[in-house]
């Protein structure tokens, strides 16, 4: 091989020596010049593509050469770019080189030339430049067409922040051209008379549809423009990472950068290259790629992830050891075996990650959703772990995951299994309490017990055993089995003392017994109830420690005090406890809860110690009392509300507020001004004693209007606002009048009743019956005389000797009291020659009493009235209604003057006339005057007392006496 | 909010254009009223032109004046008024077919889904309008050649000459949409004249009872001749 190389070099040198010789002969050195230079353009990329070849090389000759390339713009002397391009050249090999122009190629004519030189250490003597090729001209403008205006570059795509050169080519010399970037005018430099160039620096991203750049003529509608598509900066991939799960395949992931932000998304490609193996793969996905691990136990990997779009290429690198990037598969064949009440064994298998690798496995035990045990175990292939200290009859979940123990990379996924431990006998005695009552001489005991907690029950409780042990007859035992889930039972016992044992039983065994004793004496001694104040946290109860031996205390209460079932609750406390806080979600504001605190004797007999009552939260009274008003006087009234049940209020009633409204500006003593909710002002009396159920409102004004309203109050406030009751005090005189008038009326009534009852006696005393003369003893006396003619004087027989005429002024009528004493005028009716024309003389007796029997027989008064009666006479008649009274009075007076001895005979007859007092019914046919009876005066009125008749005598018929 | 209102109106008009549902209104006045309302609605630049100008960044003072309709792309109002009713409907139907096709081209330059939705609604609207044109053509007497109802799929119209220059393409799109709205304005006025000129309607009094199922023919060469040169979009 070395021999061949030496031969080749010698041959080449010989050839070159020959060439050199020829050159020297021809006075022109031999050079390896580029030939067949061709230039093409890529307008979109603004690139010039050059391609050429070197023909003078020998067959299979390969030399390093350098090519110098010159690019000029507009004119060849204006070289804008010179670059040396080195490459290895073969004979007739087509060489390519590209150049990107900042200025759009359409904006100016470009020219290219190049020369070459050998740059090979093997032939250092050939290191000289060849001749330049001729200038190759690139003139795009000439092929643009005939439009008057062009703007370049068309639809160029750049990254934001780039520098861009823009030009316009104008074919019209008459118009001035103005160019704008998004409506803002740009100022450029004139490249030649037809071309103007604008350099944009740091172009921003404007919108998804690109940036509008346009040029237009000052006159006319000529406008041309381009859209510059500015994309956002292409970001490199982030979080590039590779891992294996099975040592066969590597999974590489990354987070691609943000989008370009253009309407036409730039296509992005991702390539994964591993440098140690030299392998490369084009990723199909934007964010992950798989790589097949080589089977030749390659441990180290050096990856390069290349992200590329039209504008930019970004790369990130990652070097790692394969065994350090193992992400194990999840464990399989996971089982939980040998599950007892407290233990269980978990077994599993893992996927191997190598012949000698060890996996670290993590086991977690979950109970009630929380991790209760956590263990790490080293595993080759098979794993096993014993889980201890488990609770009987409890559901658990165990899960396991593994990682490479030597080089931790990531945990595998969890594999989870659920299991339930076996049951065990209940560990705790049930919490038992009782309620006792006496029914018909028997002791009815209601036993209550709380269900055991899950930890205590150790399984499903099937039944409760209740053993009754008669303490008076210890040999007597009684067993009751109560199926679960009962939480109590009722026992009817005699008055004997019993000890009760309660146990809970599941399928495995029996719990310890809970013992409680009952005796004939319930022990509910009278204990004064105390008030306690509840809080949001509950009731804080405390009690005095018992001097004697107690085995504990029990606090008992009802969670539903108003409910007959009561929902009895209790709390067991130790013997050294003297306070506790009773809290419950069942406690409601405004409900009074009663607590009873029992001490448990050494004989397990509960006895009542204290009673407490209180509200978890007091409320204002729910209703107001019905107030009754009494004893209303002019100055006071009394209010009472004895039926009001303060205990049923949602708070302790601390007293009552009495609101009194009146017209008085000032409040009475004992009250104070208060403003009601309706802003009205009234006086308020505060009654601090809640047991006071009456109240006297005093110092009121007589005949005044008042309104009152009574409401209870608790520590929270007063009861609801209610209606005021109206009351008006009476006048004080009416009160007095009532005091006088009522007794008077009563007295009068009493007298009337007495008078009625004693009417006979009164009659006898005050107005005795007129004695019947025929029955008089005088008659017998007279009859005893011999004169037969003497007889009892009959009215008919009497002859009036005088008629008393009362002068009365016509047309006037006065009351009896106002009537002036009228001097009676008497008409003497004793028989005279002239006046006597009737059948016989009539004598009228005037009598103070009225004798109906006599009046019936009287005919003398019935004097026929002649039609010719004079008005004056009628006037006399009409006044007759007053007549008898006046007459009577006068006669009484006159009688008073009569000697007592003569009174027996002194009768003045008062005869009733049918027309008496009936002047409206004057008889049209007056009855014929009856024959006047014989009257015999029993008393002759002295003549001297009578005035001579000075008036015309009335007819008999016209006289009503 | 405005877009929602527009959407509601468009949908309302579409539902009223019953041919899309398979049957035509046989009430000439009612159908004419529909066409008037639809044309009035479609003339609003807020439907297409304004969003397009905004999206393409043409809302600059120096550019707006170049966003005007190129003469000859759409028939002028005078040219439309000179046509008989049958000819008018034929021209209208054909022109809207080209509009539909052009809108599909413009759709490529709409980036946001919201704006695309607006464009799609406009396309639906045009389809409904074309169907109503078809129904109206059936009501006109003496029309041996009827318009065809709009196919619901992509149109078969020849695509316009592609313009590689993006800026020129968006300017042309803007001009086209400007012309479209102007054209619909003219169409609305012509339809309004139909309702106001009984003399012409006497000449072409609506023929009732001509419903779908009647003989349909494609646009005849005669009608194609009626299309003035340059009316078709480039």
- Kindly state the average pLDDT of the residues B155-182: 77
* Contact by Cβ (8 Å): B230, B79: no
Instruction: For residue A180, give the chain B residue with the closest CA.
Output: B62
pLDDT at B217 over 60: no
pLDDT at residue B176 tops 90:
yes
Tell me whether residues B60 and A182 touch, CB distance under 8 A.
yes
Which one of A151, A154, A263 has the shortest CB-CB distance to B111?
A: A263
- The residue that leads in pLDDT, A246 or B152, is A246
Query: How, if at all, do strands A606-615 and A529-535 pair?
Result: parallel
Q: Is the pLDDT of residue A98 over 50?
A: yes
Q: Say if the Cβ atoms of B111 and A208 lie within 8 Å.
A: yes
Q: Are B171 and A223 within 8 A, CB to CB? A: yes
DSSP conformational letter for A908: B
Domain ranges of chain B: 25-143+168-196
**Using CB atoms within 10 A of its CB, is residue A659 exposed (0-12), middle (13-18) or buried (19+)?**
buried
Q: Do residues A450 and A439 lie in contact, with contact meaning Cβ atoms separated by under 8 Å?
A: no
Whether the CB of B166 is below 8 Å from some CB of chain A: the reply is: yes
Instruction: Check: CB of residue A202 under 8 Å from CB of residue A230.
Output: no
**Could you tell me the strand order of the sheet in which A628-630 lies?**
A628-630, A637-640, A694-697
Cα angle A168, A171, A177 (rounded to 5 degrees) comes to 50
Residue range A478-487: mean pLDDT, rounded:
90
Does the pLDDT value for residue B150 go beyond 90? no
Taking an 8 Å cut-off on Cβ atoms, the answer to whether A212 and B60 are in contact is yes
Asked if B63 has any chain A CB less than 8 Å from its own CB, the reply is: yes
Structure tokens, A450: 């709380």
B99 min Cα distance to partner chain A (Å): 22
What is the radius of gyration, based on Cα positions, of chain A?
Answer: 74
Q: Which residue has the higher pLDDT, B216 or A296?
A: A296
Contact criterion met (CB < 8 Å) for B56 and A212: yes
Q: Say which CATH topology domain B25-143+168-196 has.
A: Growth Hormone; Chain: A; (1.20.1250)
- pLDDT exceeding 90 applies to what percent of chain A? 39
The most confident of A435-444, A545-554, A589-598, by mean pLDDT:
A589-598
β-sheet bridge partners, residue A555: A571, A597
Residue B203 has pLDDT above 70, yes or no: no
Contact between A401 and A351 (Cβ < 8 Å): no
Q: Alpha-carbon distance A139 to A134, whole Å?
A: 16
Longest dimension (CA), chain B: 54
pLDDT of residue B209: 37
Q: Is the pLDDT of residue A540 over 70?
A: yes
pLDDT tens, position by position, B121-131 = 999 999 999 99
ipTM (interface pTM):
0.74
Q: Which residues of A touch B (CB under 8 A)?
A: 151, 154-155, 180, 182-183, 206-214, 216, 221, 223-227, 229, 263
Which whole number is the average pLDDT over A728-748? Answer: 82
- CB-based contact (8 Å) between B69 and chain A? no
Of the candidates A451, A501, A449, the one whose C-alpha atom is nearest the C-alpha of residue A480 is A501
Enter the pTM of the model: 0.53
Condensed to tens digits (0 to 9), the pLDDT of residues A27-51 reads 444 567 888 899 999 988 889 999 9
Q: How far is B151 from chain A (nearest CA, A)?
A: 30
pLDDT tops 50 at residue B98: yes
Nearest to A615 by CA among A596, A592, A583: A592
Q: What is the C-alpha to C-alpha distance for residues A363 and A400, in angstroms, rounded to an integer? A: 4
**Residue A806: per-residue pLDDT:** 59
Nearest residue in A to B68, CA atom: A221
pLDDT tens-place string over residues A364-418:
999 988 999 999 999 988 999 999 999 999 999 999 999 998 899 999 999 999 9
Count of pairs with CB atoms under 8 A, one residue in A, one in B: 60
Task: Report how far residue B34's alpha carbon sits from residue B168's, in angstroms, rounded to the nearest whole number.
Answer: 36
Spatial distance between the Cα atoms of A173 and A195, rounded to a whole number of angstroms: 11
Residues of A in contact with B56 (CB under 8 A): 209, 212
Which pLDDT value is given to residue A335? 95
Q: Using one digit for the tens of pLDDT, what is the confidence trace for A241-294?
A: 999 998 889 999 999 877 777 766 667 899 999 999 999 999 999 999 999 998
Strands A157-159, A359-367: parallel, antiparallel or unpaired by DSSP?
A: unpaired
Residue contact B62–A216, C-beta within 8 A: yes
Looking at residue A63, its pLDDT comes to 85
The C-alpha R_g of chain B, in whole angstroms, comes to 17
Return the bridge partners of A82, or none. A70
Residue A735's pLDDT is what?
67
Q: Which of A183, A210, A229 sits opposite B60 (nearest CB)?
A: A183
The CA distance from B233 to the nearest CA of chain A, in Å, is: 20
B62/A154 touch (CB, cutoff 8 Å), yes or no: no
What is the Cα–Cα distance from A874 to B61, expressed in whole angstroms? Answer: 138
In this prediction, residues B210-228 reach a mean pLDDT of 37
Nearest-angstrom CA–CA distance, A437 and A418:
50
Closest chain A residue to B70 measured between Cα atoms?
A: A221
Q: What is the DSSP code (8-state) at residue A817?
A: T
What is the per-residue pLDDT across B5-48, written as a single tens digit (0 to 9) for each? 444 444 444 444 444 445 787 888 899 999 999 999 999 999 89
DSSP A272-290: EEETTTTEEEE-SSSSEEE
Instruction: List the single range of A411-415, A769-773, A823-827, B135-139 with lowest mean pLDDT.
Output: A823-827
pLDDT band, residue A940 (cuts 50/70/90): very low
> A180–B62: do the CB atoms touch at under 8 Å?
yes
pLDDT reported for residue A418: 95
Return the percentage of chain A with pLDDT > 70, whole number.
75
Which long-range CB contacts under 8 A does A38-45 form with residues at least 24 apart?
A38/A136, A39/A112, A39/A136, A39/A138, A41/A105, A41/A138, A41/A140, A43/A104, A43/A105, A43/A106, A43/A140, A43/A152, A43/A153, A43/A154, A44/A153, A44/A154, A44/A155, A44/A156, A45/A100
How sure is the predictor about B222, in pLDDT bands with cuts at 50, 70 and 90?
very low
Helix, strand or coil, per DSSP, at residue B127: helix
- Do A211 and B57 make contact, defined as CB atoms within 8 angstroms? yes
* C-alpha–C-alpha distance, residues A234 and A645, integer Å: 86
How large is the average pLDDT for residues A575-586?
A: 89
Task: State how far the Cα of A523 lies from the Cα of A607, in Å rounded to an integer.
Answer: 5
Q: For chain A, say whether B107 makes contact (Cβ under 8 Å).
A: no
Tokens of A266: 């730039």
Three-state secondary-structure class, residue B103 = helix
Instruction: Report the C-alpha gap between A708 and A378 in whole angstroms.
Output: 90
Note whether B66 contacts A: Cβ–Cβ < 8 A. Answer: yes
- Please list every residue in chain A whose beta carbon sits closer than 8 Å to the beta carbon of residue B66: 216, 221, 223
pLDDT band for position A54 (cuts 50, 70, 90): confident
Work out the angle between the directed axes of helices B166-196 and B28-42 (0-180°, nearest 10): 150
Is the pLDDT at A893 greater than 70, yes or no? no
Say what the pLDDT of residue A147 is.
Answer: 86
Q: Is the pLDDT of residue B205 over 80?
A: no
The shortest C-alpha distance from B222 to chain A (Å) reads 36
> Rounded to a whole number, what is the distance in Å from the CA of B111 to chain A's nearest CA?
6
Q: What is the pLDDT of residue A941?
A: 38
Using CB atoms, pick whichever of B57, B62, B166 lies closest to residue A207.
Answer: B57
A172 or A803, greater pLDDT: A172
Report, as an integer, the average pLDDT of A888-899: 39
* Residue A278 CA from chain centroid, whole number: 73
Q: Is the Cβ of B163 closer than 8 Å to some Cβ of chain A?
A: no
A211 contacts in B (CB within 8 Å)?
57
> Is any Cβ of chain A less than 8 angstroms from the Cβ of B167?
yes
Write down the pLDDT at residue A278: 92
Separation CA A382–CA A405 (nearest Å): 15
pLDDT at A403: 93
A19 to A12, A92, A600: CA distances (angstroms): 10, 19, 131
Q: Per 3-state DSSP, what percentage of chain B is helix, strand, and coil (rounded to 5)?
A: 60, 0, 40
The secondary structure of A352-382 as a DSSP string is --SSS--EEEEEEEEETTEEEEEEEEEESSE
**Is A241 exposed, middle or buried (CB count within 10 Å of its CB: 0-12, 13-18, 19+)?**
middle
Q: Would the pLDDT of A113 be above 70?
A: yes
Q: Which two tokens stand for residue A435?
A: 């309620």
Q: Is the pLDDT of residue A780 over 80?
A: no
* Residue in B62, B111, B166 closest to A227 by CB: B166
B53 contacts chain A (CB < 8 A): no
Distance from the Cα of A284 to chain B's closest Cα (Å) equals 26
Q: Do A182 and B57 touch (CB under 8 A)?
A: yes
Mean pLDDT of A796-814: 55
Least CB–CB distance from A209: residue in B55, B63, B66: B55
Q: What is chain A's mean pLDDT, rounded?
A: 78
Confidence band, pLDDT 50/70/90 cuts, at residue A642: confident
DSSP 8-state class, residue A167: E
């Amino acid at each position: 091989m070395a021999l061949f190389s030496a031969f080749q070099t010698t041959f080449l040198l010989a050839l070159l020596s020959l060439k050199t010789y020829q050159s020297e002969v021809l006075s022109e050195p031999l050079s390896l010049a580029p030939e067949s230079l061709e230039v093409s353009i890529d307008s979109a990329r603004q690139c010039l593509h050059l391609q050429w070849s070197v023909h003078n090389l020998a067959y299979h000759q390969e030399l390093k050469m350098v090519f110098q390339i010159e690019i000029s713009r507009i004119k060849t002397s204006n070289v804008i770019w010179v670059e040396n391009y080195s490459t290895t050249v073969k004979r007739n090999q087509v060489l390519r080189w590209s150049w990107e122009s900042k200025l759009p190629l359409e904006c100016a004519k470009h020219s290219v030339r190049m020369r070459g030189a050998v740059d090979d250490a093997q032939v250092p003597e050939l290191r000289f430049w060849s001749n330049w090729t001729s200038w190759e001209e690139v003139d795009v403008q000439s092929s643009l067409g005939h439009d008057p205006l062009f703007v370049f570059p068309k639809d160029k795509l750049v990254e934001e922040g780039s520098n861009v050169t823009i030009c316009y080519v104008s074919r019209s010399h008459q118009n001035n051209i103005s160019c704008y970037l998004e409506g803002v005018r740009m100022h450029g430099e004139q490249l030649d008379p037809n071309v103007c160039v604008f350099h944009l620096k740091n172009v921003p991203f404007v919108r998804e549809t690109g940036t509008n750049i346009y040029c237009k003529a000052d006159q006319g509608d000529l406008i041309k423009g381009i859209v510059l598509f500015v994309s956002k900066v292409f970001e490199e991939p982030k979080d590039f990472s590779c891992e294996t799960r099975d040592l066969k395949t590597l999974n590489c992931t990354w987070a691609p950068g943000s989008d370009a932000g253009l309407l036409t998304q730039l296509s992005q490609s991702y390539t994964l290259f591993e440098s140690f193996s030299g392998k490369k793969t084009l990723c199909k996905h934007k964010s992950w790629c798989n790589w097949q691990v080589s089977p030749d136990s390659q441990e180290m990997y050096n990856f390069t992830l290349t992200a590329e779009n039209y504008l930019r290429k970004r790369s990130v690198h990652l070097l790692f050891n394969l065994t350090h990037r193992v992400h194990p598969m999840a464990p399989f064949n996971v089982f939980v075996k040998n599950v007892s009440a407290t233990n269980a064994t978990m077994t599993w298998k893992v996927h191997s990650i190598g012949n000698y690798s060890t996996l670290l496995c993590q086991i977690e035990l979950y109970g009630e959703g929380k991790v209760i045990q956590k263990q790490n175990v080293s595993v080759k292939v098979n794993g096993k772990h014993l889980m201890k200290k488990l609770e009987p009859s409890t559901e658990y979940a165990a899960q396991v995951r593994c990682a490479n123990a030597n080089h931790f990379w990531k945990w595998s996924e969890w594999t989870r299994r659920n299991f339930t431990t076996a049951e065990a006998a209940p560990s705790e005695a049930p919490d038992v309490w009782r309620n006792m009552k006496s029914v018909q001489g028997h002791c009815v005991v209601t036993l209550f017990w709380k269900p055991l907690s899950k930890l205590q029950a150790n399984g499903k409780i099937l039944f409760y055993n209740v053993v009754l042990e008669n303490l008076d007859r210890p040999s007597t035992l009684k067993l009751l089995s109560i199926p679960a889930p009962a939480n109590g039972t009722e026992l009817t016992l005699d008055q004997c003392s019993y000890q009760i044992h309660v146990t809970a039983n599941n399928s495995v065994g029996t719990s310890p017994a809970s013992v409680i004793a009952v005796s004939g004496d319930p022990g509910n001694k009278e204990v004064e109830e105390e008030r306690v104040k509840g809080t949001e946290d509950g009731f804080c109860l405390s009690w005095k420690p018992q001097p004697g031996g107690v085995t504990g205390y029990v606090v008992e209460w009802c969670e539903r005090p108003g409910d007959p079932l009561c929902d009895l609750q209790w709390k067991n406390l130790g013997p050294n406890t003297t306070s506790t806080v009773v809290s419950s979600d069942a406690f409601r504001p405004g409900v009074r809860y009663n607590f009873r605190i029992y001490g448990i004797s050494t004989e397990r007999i509960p006895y009542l110690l204290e009673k407490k009552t209180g509200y978890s939260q007091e409320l204002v009274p729910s209703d107001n009392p019905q107030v009754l008003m009494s004893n209303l006087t002019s100055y006071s009234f009394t209010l009472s509300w004895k039926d009001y049940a303060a205990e049923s209020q949602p708070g302790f009633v601390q007293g009552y507020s009495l609101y009194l409204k009146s017209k008085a500006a000032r409040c009475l003593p004992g009250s104070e001004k208060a403003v009601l909710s309706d802003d009205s002002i009234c006086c308020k009396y505060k009654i601090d004693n809640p047991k006071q159920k009456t109240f006297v409102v005093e110092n009121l004004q007589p005949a005044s209007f008042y309104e009152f309203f009574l409401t209870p109050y608790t520590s929270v406030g007063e009861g609801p606002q209610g209606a005021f009751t109206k009351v008006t005090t009476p006048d004080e005189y009416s009160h007095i009048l009532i005091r006088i008038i009522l007794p008077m009326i009563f007295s009068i009534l009493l007298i009337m009743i007495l008078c009625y009852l004693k009417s006979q006696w009164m009659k006898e005393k005050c107005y005795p019956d007129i004695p019947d003369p025929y029955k008089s003893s005088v008659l017998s006396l007279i009859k005893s005389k011999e004169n037969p003619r003497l007889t009892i004087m009959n009215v008919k027989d009497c002859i009036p000797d005088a008629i008393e005429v009362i002068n009365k002024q016509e047309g006037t009528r006065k009351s009896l009291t106002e009537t002036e004493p009228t001097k009676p005028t008497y008409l003497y009716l004793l028989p005279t020659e002239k006046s006597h024309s009737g059948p016989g003389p009539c004598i009228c007796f005037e009598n103070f009493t009225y004798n109906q029997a006599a009046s019936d027989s009287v005919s003398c008064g019935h004097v026929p009235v002649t039609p010719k009666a004079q008005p004056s006479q009628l006037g006399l008649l009409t006044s007759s209604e007053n007549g008898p009274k006046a007459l009577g009075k006068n006669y009484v007076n006159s009688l008073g003057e009569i000697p007592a001895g003569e009174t027996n005979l002194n009768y003045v007859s008062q005869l009733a006339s049918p027309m008496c007092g009936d002047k409206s019914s004057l008889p049209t046919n007056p009855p014929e005057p009856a024959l006047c009876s014989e009257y015999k005066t029993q008393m002759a009125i002295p003549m001297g007392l009578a005035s001579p008749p000075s008036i015309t005598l009335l007819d008999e018929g016209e006289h009503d006496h | 909010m405005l877009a929602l209102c527009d959407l509601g109106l468009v949908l309302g008009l579409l539902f009223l254009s019953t041919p899309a549902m398979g049957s035509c209104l046989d009430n000439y006045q009612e159908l004419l009223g529909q066409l008037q309302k639809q044309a009035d609605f479609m003339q609003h630049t807020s439907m297409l032109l304004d969003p397009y100008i905004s999206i393409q960044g043409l809302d600059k003072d120096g550019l707006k004046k170049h966003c005007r309709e190129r003469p000859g792309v759409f028939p002028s109002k005078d040219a439309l008024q000179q046509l008989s009713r049958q000819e008018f409907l034929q021209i209208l139907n054909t022109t809207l077919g080209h509009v539909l096709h052009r809108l599909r081209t413009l759709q490529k330059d709409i980036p946001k889904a919201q704006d695309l939705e607006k464009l799609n609604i406009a396309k639906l609207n045009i389809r409904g309008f074309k169907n109503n044109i078809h129904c109206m053509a059936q009501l006109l007497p003496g029309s041996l050649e009827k318009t065809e109802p709009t196919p619901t799929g992509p149109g078969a119209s020849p695509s316009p000459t592609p313009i590689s220059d993006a800026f020129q393409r968006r300017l042309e799109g803007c001009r086209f949409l400007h012309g479209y709205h102007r054209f619909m304005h003219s169409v609305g006025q012509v339809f309004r004249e139909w309702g106001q000129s009984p003399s012409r309607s006497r000449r072409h009094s609506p023929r009732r009872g001509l419903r779908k199922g009647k003989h349909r023919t494609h646009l005849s060469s005669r009608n194609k001749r009626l299309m003035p040169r340059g009316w078709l979009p480039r």
